[in-house]
Structure formats: C-alpha cells, structure tokens
Amino acid sequence: MSMTQEPARGPSREGPEKISETTATPSTNPPTSRRERRQARKRRDSVASITSPLSRIKSNSEAAKPKPTRTRKASINHSKPRIPSTTVSTIPPEMSAARKNIPLLVASIGNPEGLYGGTLHNAGHTVLERVRSIRSFGPFKANKRMGGQVSEPIRTADFSIIPFVSRVHEVEVADNWTLWKSPSLMNVSGKAVKSAWEAFRRENPQGLLVVLHDELEKKKGEVTVKREGSAKGHNGIKSVVASMGRTPFVRIGVGIGRPLSRDPDVIVKYVLRKMTTEEQYDVEKAAGPVIEALREIAEGLR
C-alpha cells in the first residue's frame, strides 16, 4: 500500500522574525493596537495610583507653609530733622524748649550748722541738702564770691570707652539753679542773702531769688509757696524783707509743726531742739514738692 508522503517543511519565513521579536528590546513606538493601548492605560493608572498620594502630601506641605507677606517700606520724610537715638541730656521730656527756664538762686536760711545742724529751725537747710542729693548737684562748698555754702549742677561728665582713657563732655542739665546755704543766724539772715543775691544777679540778670525756710504754723513736711504776704512773726523772713527792699522774691516754707503752748520760751526750745528720726523723715519728704515748686517757678508758672 502506498502512503502519501507529506512534503517536508522547511524553515518558516516567520520563524526568524518571531524570534527577533521576542528577544529584541521593547519598542518605544506608541501602541497601535487596541489591546496594547488598553495595557498601556492600565500601566498609567497603576503608576498614577502610587504617585498621587505623594503629590497630595507635597502640595499639602506647600500649602501649610506661611506665604511671605509683602511689607511696604515706610517713606522717609527728609524735610523733618531726625532725632538722635542717644543723648546725654538730663532734661525731662515734659520740659519743652519753648518754656522758660529762669535761673534761680535757691537760698535756705537757718542757723550755723556746726552747732544747730539737724534742728527744726534748720529745716530749710535739711530740705535743700535733700534737693541737692535728688537732683545730683555737686557737694556744697564754701564760696568767697557769694559767701556761705554753694552747690551747682554737674555740667560735665566723664565717658570712657577705651580703658584708662576718659573724655570729659558737657552735659545739658534741666535745673538752672544755684543752691545756697546761709552762714549766718536765722534772725539776721537778710544781709547774707542780699550779698549772695547781688553776686548771683551780676551773672544772671534775669534770675530770681527763692528763699527756703521753716514754717512753724504748718504740719511737718507741708510745703507752702508765696510771692508776697506777711512774715507771720518769722524773724528770718523779716530780716530778708528788710534787706532786699523792693526786690521781689519767692518764699517756700517747710512745715515743722508747733507745740501746744504759745509761750515764746517754749517755742524757742521747740525749734532749737534736734529732730527725731521720724521728724527728719517727715521734713525730708518735702524735697519732692519743693522740687516741683522750683520747676514751676523757673517756668514762670508760679
């Protein structure tokens, strides 16, 4: 029986091409068939599902950052004078340059402090010393030109930036005052006050005299200010009025209280005794109101 013999198969034309397709690198050309496009879409979706949370986190973090605010630069008006940042002036800010600053001779009257220091009759000297301390004036020193003890504002200051090198600068001061203590007895104060005033007036023609004294009729530490009026039996004020004639001056009284008795001998013993610690404290408290009164007098307000 004869068998039909199938023709021998040779190498297929598609064989090498299929082998090259499977072994070759993937093509970068965009997919053309529907199946390839669907597979590419799935791959994009899977990648997007992974990257989208990261992008959200990044966007949220960027949103959380505060946005820089734009600030407008303040316009500088060069027409107005600039105020220096630092000064060496001791003038208080409430004292305007437009206000007056009359030179004052502040004269306290009493008895010589060597024997009568710390007595009630020397309340004027006690308060003036306290004023000097509060306002940082120089120490009281004997003055031949004016007589008595004189204290003036410290108008220079030492500034040292480099070690062992100091420079002296002029310092502007607020208080244009000269503090003066009478060297004489209370009842004859007028002659010494007039001599000191004439010496002061030669250098300060626009100056004003202020007399600081004790006030028997007022309670301890109470302050009174007068330009005119009766001396009310105060022998020191009587002496000053008699010596000064018609020259106007301001009186500042510091209360020292008074004994119950009005007997002259009792009053003399009272004013010439030493102050107790409590009495000295009450009298020295008057320094604050006295300073305020002096400022108002210098500005022409009283």
> Could you tell me the pTM of the whole model?
0.65
Q: What is the pLDDT of residue 166?
A: 59
Domain count, the chain: 1
Whether 5 is covered by a domain: the verdict is no
Provide the domain limits for residue 130.
104-160+169-299
CATH for 229 = 3.40.50.1470
Contact 179, 157 (CB under 8 A): no
Exposure string of 35-74, with b = 16+ CB inside 10 Å and e = fewer, is eeeeeeeeeeeeeeeeeeeeeeeeeeeeeeeeeeeeeeee
- Please give the chain's pLDDT, 302 residues, in tens: 445 455 455 444 444 444 444 444 444 555 567 777 777 777 776 655 554 554 554 555 555 555 555 555 544 454 444 433 333 334 454 544 457 899 999 999 999 999 999 999 999 999 999 999 999 899 999 999 999 999 999 876 665 666 665 565 555 567 899 999 999 999 999 999 999 999 999 999 999 999 999 999 899 999 999 998 888 889 999 999 999 999 999 999 999 999 999 999 999 999 999 999 999 999 999 999 999 999 999 999 98
Whether 225 is covered by a domain: the verdict is yes
Amino acid at 302: R
Whether 89 is covered by a domain: the verdict is no
Q: Write down the residue that tokens 């050309």 correspond to.
A: 29
Q: What is the pLDDT of residue 176?
A: 93
Q: Are strands 167-170 and 141-142 parallel, antiparallel or unpaired?
A: unpaired
Question: How much is the mean pLDDT over the chain?
Answer: 79
Whether 144 is covered by a domain: the verdict is yes
Whether 123 is covered by a domain: the verdict is yes
d(CA 241, CA 231): 9
3-class state of residue 254 by DSSP: strand
Whether 210 is covered by a domain: the verdict is yes
> For the segment 146-180, what is each residue's pLDDT rounded down to a tens digit?
999 999 998 766 656 666 655 655 555 678 999 99
SS3 per-residue string spanning 184-253: CCHHHCHHHHHHHHHHHHHHCCCCEEEEEEEECCCCCCCEEEECCCCCCCCHHHHHHHHHHCCCCCEEEE
Whether 96 is covered by a domain: the verdict is no
**Cα radius of gyration rounded to whole Å, the chain:** 49
Whether 226 is covered by a domain: the verdict is yes
